[in-house]
């Protein structure tokens, strides 16, 4: 079986679902002949035609709004925002219509659509091409916010996102689009959207993260293991609705919690997890909760961007602090 | 000098303000006087309904309400031209079109009375129409997206959106007509130009002499009609719908009318517009001219008017009673439609709210 990258897994999932479900359509800027600027939709227009792989006019508001309209008519549109930094004009349609159509109409009209966007920093891109703004969506009721962190999870979670009867924001960590390959059978098997994934079992400290930082957390766990510390690593994957039970179970076991994300710290989604840990795990905590995040600044242009993103060293250090505390 | 392209905007009117027929080539539907009486009756019931809504608001039985006074010809003209299988994406004032398509007055009262179930239209074809869209112009793209779905699936259906003069300034409107032109979508966008966007007059929205011409830039068919003349509105709609249905392109129709009432019941239009202007507008309102025309044709009279008004009153009283008797939804309803199924995490919050409820908090 072929080994594929995360971005190829995205393409594989789109192709699988388009082949098996006629109502699935892909739309966005440059998604057709060009196959998307990251090649996520490579080859799809040849297979499925110009109407089901639709190059839209260059207007994010249009893309988002026609996506809502098509979805209400029973199609399953998968819209692409070319970069997360250009998703802002889509937010009115997402927040005011996609997320609340079911509620507004007491279930009469629904929006089974997906918005995909390449997300996050670390690829030496120009301004506005490196944003991590998942927290802007996690506070909108009625949305699922999903971030895959491996080829297999990208495939399984994207299939689940397309099949889900409600709108899903699917943010793809572009830094790890081509970082490594793994075997991903093209079997149409979706992964659940209501669980966190425990990627490594541990007993001393819990590292909670999502997206590209999963890689740094796994490396930090390796380093901690060399120091005799057993770290559990959780990939949250679906931020909302949150499966906090998996996190709580882990933190109640380890007594220590380090939350890692690249978005700015204040009111980032890590704040929500820290608050829940305080609500539900306070008496099991052996040390204060630690957050390793981007600072409350704009992500710098690329000469400094790696100093902005959480590093393995910073994560290890934070874990060590929790161990030193007790 | 060579000219790259040249355009003009036709203006369409059959009945002038006094109800005098200004052209002989009446469209087919208007030759059927029985049908014209039906249209008049629906315009009148829309007006009775509207007055009832405002009265409900004034007596504290309704929240803020957006009146449609003066828009009856435009709205009924739009709704009556559409086929059941078409889809309407309205803004928040097009009751005349919606009542025609099966929205019940009680549903309008429920929506403005703070109950989401008002959007759960029970009757077809309204049941597959969009609900009211408060964020200005956003509904235009839902119509464009619907039209795109119809095109992809090869369905002979048309998506219609309505939008205000103010709303036609917003990007969503341009985005919708733009993609409709680029993809040859079955979209009909009707600009209901009632001269005001709350307190902002038409001239502040755009330097273009007509709003219809905005569609030219998108490659659509464009026409301006007397929006107080239902024959003109209906005719322009029929032509546009037929073209769209046959793959001959989308349209922008500007229906020129006037908002005779306040923007909503929360507004006081005396703050920003003069009495004379409103008086002049009343002289051109849509009911009077159609009534005069029907009376002259011998198919309508005062007795019929009184009888139909009485019937409408009774209908609305029934609807009001049904609305007032509606029990408030259980508190858990706010959770039940957030997702197809209530996620476990949200279920915990629902249980908490339910426990407050049980304690009377
Ligand atoms: C995006 C957005 N901005 C502002 C408002 C507040 N608002 C409600 S109605 C309105 C005026 C709309 O005027 P027009 O489009 O002419 O429609 P009309 O009310 O005259 O039918 C405004 C500014 C809104 N609902 N949505
Ligand atoms: Mg207006």
Site residues for ligand 1, CB cut-off 6 Å? B 93, 134-136, 164-167, 194, 196-198, 259, 263
pLDDT class of A49 with cuts at 50, 70, 90: very high
Catalytic residue among A97, A129, A135, A261: A129
Is the pLDDT confidence value at A274 over 90? Answer: yes
Give B152's contacts in chain A (Cβ within 8 Å).
25, 51-52, 75
* CA B180 – CA B215 distance, rounded (Å): 10
B131 CB within 8 Å of a chain A CB: yes
* DSSP class per residue in A165-208: SS-EEEEEEGGGTTS--EE---S-PPPPSS--EEEE--SSEEEE
Question: Does residue B350 carry a catalytic annotation?
Answer: no
A11-39 residue pLDDT tens = 999 999 999 999 999 999 999 999 999 99
B206 C-alpha vs ligand 2 centroid, how far in Å? 13
CB contact under 8 A, A64 and B141: yes
Q: Which stretch of DSSP H or E encloses residue A26?
A: strand A24-28
- Check A102 against B338: CB less than 8 A apart: yes
Q: What does residue A235 show for φ and ψ, rounded to 5 degrees? A: -95, 110
Rounded to an integer, what is the distance from CA B188 to the centroid of its chain?
A: 13
Orientation of helix A60-72 relative to helix B138-153, angle to 10°? 60
Q: Is residue A1 scored above 80 in pLDDT?
A: no
Chain A 230-289, residues with CB within 8 Å of chain B CB atoms: 241-245
Start-to-end CA span in chain A (Å): 48
DSSP 8-state assignment for residue B86: S
pLDDT in tens, B180-235: 999 999 999 999 999 999 999 999 999 999 999 999 999 999 999 999 999 999 99
Tell me the sheet residues that pair with A26: A53, A78
Cβ distance of B150 and A243 shorter than 8 Å: no
Task: Report DSSP state, residue B274.
Answer: -
Integer Cα distance of B162 and A21 in angstroms = 32
Ligand 1 center to B144 CA (angstroms):
20
Q: Are B345 and A239 in contact (CB under 8 A)?
A: no
Are A241 and B179 inside 8 Å of each other by CB? no
d(C-alpha A195, C-alpha A245), whole Å: 9
- Residue A236 pLDDT greater than 80, yes or no: yes
B177 alpha carbon to ligand 2 midpoint, in Å?
Answer: 19
Other CB atoms within 10 A of residue B55 CB: 14
Closest listed residue to residue B159, CA positions, set B141, B171, B175, B133: B141
Task: Read off the DSSP letter of residue B301.
Answer: -
Mutate: best of B178, B339, B345, B353, partner A, most A CBs <10 A: B339
- Decide: pTM greater than 0.90: yes
pLDDT at residue B316, as a whole number: 97
Q: Which two tokens stand for residue B13?
A: 């009117």
Q: In whole angstroms, give the CA distance from residue A116 to residue A58.
A: 16
Residue B96: name the closest of B48, B25, B151, B157 by CA: B48
Q: Considering only residues 169 to 208 of chain A, which have any Cβ-Cβ distance to chain B shorter than 8 Å? A: 194
Contact, B250 vs B221, CB < 8 A? yes
Contact list, B149 vs chain A (CB under 8 Å) = 69-70, 73-75
Size of interface A-B (CB pairs under 8 A): 139
Cβ distance A97 to B343 less than 8 Å, yes or no, reads no
Query: Which chain B positions have a beta carbon within 8 Å of A142's beta carbon?
Result: 338-339
Q: Are B96 and B48 in contact (CB under 8 A)?
A: no
Q: Is B328 on the interface with A (CB under 8 A)?
A: no
Task: Give me the phi and psi of B354, to 5 degrees please.
Answer: -65, -35
CB nearest B127 (choices: A77, A108, A165): A108
**CB-CB under 8 Å, A141 with B119:** no
Q: Are A26 and A54 in contact (CB under 8 A)?
A: yes
**Closest Cα in chain B to A167:** B339
Test A102 with B179 for CB contact under 8 angstroms. no
Chain B segment 160-219 residues within 8 A of A by beta carbon are 171-172, 175-176, 178-179, 182-183
For B142, which of A68, A102, A165 is closest by C-beta distance?
A: A68
The Cα–Cα gap between B139 and B90 comes to 7
Chain B neighbors of A72, CB-CB under 8 A: 130, 142, 145-146
Distance CA A33, CA A50 (A): 9
Query: How high is the pLDDT of residue A148?
Result: 98
Q: In this structure, what DSSP letter does residue B21 have?
A: B
pLDDT in tens, A202-221: 999 999 999 999 999 999 99
Please give the structure tokens belonging to residue B110.
């429920």
Q: Which residues pair with B159 in a beta bridge?
A: B87, B187
Return the percentage of chain A with pLDDT > 70, whole number. 100
Q: pLDDT-derived band of residue A326, with 50, 70 and 90 as boundaries?
A: confident
CA of A179 to the centre of ligand 2 (A): 54
- What are the residue ranges in chain B where pLDDT is below 70? none
Identify whether the C-beta of residue A298 lies closer than 8 Å to the C-beta of residue A285.
Answer: no
Measured distance CA(B238)–CA(B76) in Å, rounded: 13
Interface predicted TM-score of the whole assembly (ipTM), two decimals: 0.90
Q: Which of B71, B134, B166, B206 to mutate to test the pocket of ligand 1 (most atoms within 8 A of CB)?
A: B166
Q: Which residues of A touch B334 (CB under 8 A)?
A: 103
Token pair recorded at residue B246: 């046959």
Q: What SS3 state is found at A289? A: coil
Contact predicate A152/A197, CB 8 Å: no
CA distance readout (Å), A208 to A201, A237, A273, B349: 12, 10, 9, 23
- Which residue in the list B23, B58, B272, B356 is annotated as catalytic? B272
Contacts 24+ apart (CB under 8 A), A38-45: A38/A7, A38/A118, A38/A174, A38/A177, A39/A7, A39/A11, A40/A7, A40/A10, A40/A11, A40/A14, A40/A80, A40/A116, A40/A118, A40/A172, A41/A11, A41/A14, A41/A80, A42/A11, A43/A11, A43/A15, A44/A11, A44/A14, A44/A15, A44/A18
SS3 for A75-129, per residue?
CEEEEECCCHHHCHHHHHHHHHHHCCHHHHCCCCCCCCCEEEEEECCCCCCCCCC
- B12 forms beta bridges with B225
Among candidate residues B220, B154, B150, the one with its CA nearest the CA of residue B191: B220
* Catalytic position from the list B259, B289, B291, B323: B259
Give the nearest ligand 1 atom to B197 CA: 13
The whole-number pLDDT of residue A325 equals 87
Min Cα–Cα distance to chain A from B304, Å: 38
Q: Do A166 and B133 make contact, defined as CB atoms within 8 angstroms?
A: no
Whether A65 and B141 lie within 8 Å, measured CB to CB: yes
């Amino acid at each position: 079986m072929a080994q594929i990258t995360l971005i190829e897994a995205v393409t594989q999932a789109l192709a699988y679902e388009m082949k098996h479900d006629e109502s699935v359509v892909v739309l966005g800027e440059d998604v057709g002949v060009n196959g998307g600027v990251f090649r996520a939709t490579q080859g799809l227009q040849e297979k499925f035609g110009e109407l089901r792989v639709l190059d839209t006019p260059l207007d994010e508001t249009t893309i988002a709004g026609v996506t809502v309209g098509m979805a209400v008519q029973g199609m399953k549109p998968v819209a692409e925002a070319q970069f997360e930094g250009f998703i802002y004009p889509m937010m009115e349609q997402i927040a005011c219509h996609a997320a609340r159509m079911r509620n507004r109409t007491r279930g009469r009209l629904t929006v089974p659509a997906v918005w995909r966007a390449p997300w996050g920093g670390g690829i030496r891109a120009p301004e506005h091409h490196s944003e991590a703004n998942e927290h802007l969506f996690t506070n909108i009721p009625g949305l699922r916010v999903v971030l895959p962190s491996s080829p297999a999870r990208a495939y399984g979670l994207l299939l689940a996102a397309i099949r889900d009867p409600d709108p899903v924001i699917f943010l793809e960590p572009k830094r790890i689009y081509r970082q490594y390959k793994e075997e991903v059978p093209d079997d149409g098997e979706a992964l659940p959207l209501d669980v966190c994934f425990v990627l490594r079992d541990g007993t001393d400290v819990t590292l909670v993260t999502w997206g590209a930082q999963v890689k740094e957390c796994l490396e930090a766990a390796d380093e901690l293991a060399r120091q005799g510390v057993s770290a559990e690593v959780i990939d949250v994957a679906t931020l909302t609705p949150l499966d906090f039970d998996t996190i709580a179970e882990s933190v109640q076991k380890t007594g220590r919690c380090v939350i890692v994300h690249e978005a700015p710290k204040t009111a980032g989604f890590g704040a929500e997890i820290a608050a829940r840990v305080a609500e539900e795990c306070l008496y099991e905590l052996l040390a204060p909760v630690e957050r390793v995040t981007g600072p409350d600044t704009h992500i710098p242009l690329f000469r400094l961007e790696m100093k902005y993103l959480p590093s393995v060293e910073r994560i290890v250090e934070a874990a060590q602090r929790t161990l030193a505390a007790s | 000098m060579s000219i790259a392209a040249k355009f003009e905007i036709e203006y369409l009117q059959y009945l002038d303000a006094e109800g005098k027929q200004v052209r002989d080539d009446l469209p087919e539907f208007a030759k059927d006087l029985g049908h014209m009486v039906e249209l008049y009756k629906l315009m009148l019931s829309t007006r009775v309904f509207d007055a009832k809504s405002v009265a409900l608001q004034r007596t504290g039985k309704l929240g803020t309400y957006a009146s449609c006074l003066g828009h009856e010809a435009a709205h009924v003209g739009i709704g009556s031209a559409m086929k059941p299988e078409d889809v309407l994406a309205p803004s928040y004032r097009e009751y005349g079109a919606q009542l025609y398509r099966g929205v019940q007055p009680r549903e309008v009262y429920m929506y403005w009375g703070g109950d989401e179930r008002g959007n759960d239209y029970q009757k077809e074809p309204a049941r597959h129409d969009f609900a009211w869209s408060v964020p200005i112009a956003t509904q235009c793209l839902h119509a464009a997206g619907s039209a795109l779905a119809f095109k992809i699936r090869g369905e002979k259906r048309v998506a219609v959106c309505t939008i205000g003069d103010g709303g036609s300034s917003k990007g969503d409107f341009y985005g919708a007509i733009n993609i409709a032109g680029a993809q040859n979508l079955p979209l009909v966008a009707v600009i209901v130009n009632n001269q005001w966007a709350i307190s902002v007059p038409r001239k502040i929205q755009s330097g273009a002499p007509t709003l219809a011409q905005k569609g030219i830039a998108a490659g659509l068919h464009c026409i301006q009609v007397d929006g107080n003349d239902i024959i003109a509105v209906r005719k322009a709609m029929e032509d546009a719908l037929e073209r769209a249905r046959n793959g001959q392109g989308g349209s922008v129709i500007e229906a020129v009318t006037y908002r005779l009432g306040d923007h909503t019941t929360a507004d006081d239009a005396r703050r920003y517009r003069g009495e004379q202007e409103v008086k002049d507008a009343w002289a051109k309102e849509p009911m009077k001219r159609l009534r005069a025309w029907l009376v002259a044709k011998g198919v309508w009279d005062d007795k019929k008017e009184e009888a139909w008004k009485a019937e409408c009153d009774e209908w609305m009283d029934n609807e009001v009673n049904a609305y007032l008797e509606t029990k408030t939804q259980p508190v858990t309803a706010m959770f039940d439609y957030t997702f197809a199924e209530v996620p476990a995490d949200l279920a915990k919050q629902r249980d908490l709210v339910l426990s407050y409820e049980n304690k009377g908090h």
